[in-house]
Amino acid sequence: MSYIAWLSDLLTRRHSALETTAAEAELNACNRVEAMHISDNAERAKDAASQAAAVAKVFFFLNKMDSPE
């Protein structure tokens, strides 16, 4: 498995776990306001993870281009 495929698989599994955890937290929230805060935080975490994955891919490809074959 290539590094990119491995990274993509890892991020997909972590994303699924975060969505499940956020959904459970929203269900267990004391009120709607708390549930909305949980949802907003989960969305921000998802966006940050996507940005981190994009940066990791760029660094991987840049490193691969600089490495002699």
Contact in structure between 53 and 12 (CB atoms under 8 Å):
no
The structural domains of the chain, with segments of one domain joined by +, span 3-66
Q: How far apart are CA 26 and CA 33, in angstroms?
A: 10
Cα separation, 36 vs 41, in Å, equals: 9
- pLDDT in the model for residue 12: 72
Q: The pTM is what?
A: 0.59
Q: Are 14 and 49 in contact (CB under 8 A)?
A: yes
CA distance 48 to 9: 17
pLDDT tens-digit series, residues 6-62 = 777 777 777 677 677 777 877 888 888 888 888 888 888 888 888 888 888 887 777
